Amino acid sequence: MTSIPKTRFLGKNPAKIDRRTFKMSIPLSRFLPTIPASVNWAPNVDWPMWRNGDDIGPDGMPRRGFGCCTQVSVASAIRTWTGAAQAPILLTDDQVLANYSAVTSPPFDPDQPATDRGAVELDVLNHWSRFGLAMPGSQPGRSYLTAYGTIDPRNRQSVQRAIAFLGGSYIGLSLPQWCCDTDDDWNYDPQRDNSIAGGHAVWLHGYDADWLYLNTWGGPRRMSWGFLRQFCDEAYGLVSRQHFSDIHGVSPKGEALDDLVTEMRAASDA
């Protein structure tokens, strides 16, 4: 885990490759053959920091941030899905940190800085699918991921389909240092100093011809398609019946979602 200037933290550890992971690009092309020109599932949303950077707590006192971006992206996905489908569900800071602790070894402890070591995206998705993650609701409130698969971040149409059909995409970046020091758009310029600060997880919730839309460190951000191709080292499409099964239009209709999940589970059992 890497701490960075301006109170911002990273926290995505190097990608873990599991060749058994379902590959989503071909199935998504069947379910969404015509790609919308633009989609944004979370426009004009106020995004929390969710402790991924130093901030001010409810008591007015400064609080230290942590490398919990892999779980901030989970919270962002749930906020996006539920906001599009019904009433938005917003995880608390404590729930995000509890989810971070659940997928780290040794478990993350906010009182023990040495345990703040970041997490692996694939470990997060496996835990979310098998055991659930903390969220608001009945005791104990749990969020479960129905299924997930990889998409090729260098295939523009695959990324578009994942966002349009599944409500977003969970991705990992090898992030240049300059991105940590500014609120500017993330646009790739080969003439710039693109020295890598470390790994960062974000949730993509929209796109158009020029930009992808995401949130990080408590605010919205735009990322160019060229930046994605250059710096994204892993990307996943997530299927959540629990949170994103009631939307119509370009997103999953019931029978299409069922068919996709059936195909994914059949492949995992093979």
One-character DSSP codes across 29-94: HHH-SSPPS-EESSTTPPPP-TTSB-EE-TTS-EE---S-HHHHHHHHHHHHHHHHHSS-----HH
Does 256 fall in a domain? yes
Count CB neighbours of 188 within 10 A.
16
Does 111 fall in a domain? yes
CATH code for the domain in which residue 64 is found: 3.90.70.10
Question: Quick one: which H or E segment has residue 163?
Answer: helix 156-166
CB of 177 closer than 8 Å to CB of 224 = no
User: What's the sign of the alpha-carbon dihedral 108, 140, 88, 62?
Assistant: negative
Question: Quick one: which H or E segment has residue 137?
Answer: none
Does 173 fall in a domain? yes
Which amino acid is located at 68 in the chain? C
Question: Quick one: which H or E segment has residue 162?
Answer: helix 156-166
What pLDDT is attached to residue 250?
Answer: 65
Does 25 fall in a domain? no
Does 20 fall in a domain? no
Distance CA 228, CA 212 (A): 9
Count CB neighbours of 183 within 10 A.
10
Distance CA 201, CA 190 (A): 22
Does 17 fall in a domain? no
Does 133 fall in a domain? yes
Question: One digit per residue, pLDDT tens: the chain, 270 residues?
Answer: 444 445 899 999 999 988 889 999 999 999 899 999 999 999 999 999 999 999 888 898 889 999 999 999 999 999 999 998 878 999 999 999 999 999 999 999 999 999 999 999 999 999 999 999 999 876 678 999 999 999 999 999 999 999 999 999 999 999 999 999 999 999 999 999 999 999 999 999 999 999 999 999 999 999 999 999 999 999 999 999 888 766 666 666 667 888 888 898 887 765
Q: At which residue do the structure tokens 């949730």 appear?
A: 203
**Domain, as residue range, for 209:** 40-269
Residue 202, SS3? strand
- As for how many domains the chain has, the answer is 1
Does 34 fall in a domain? no
- Give the DSSP per-residue string, 17-37: P-TTSPB-HHHHHHH-SSPPS
Q: Give residues with Cβ within 8 angstroms of 265, minimum separation 6.
A: 147
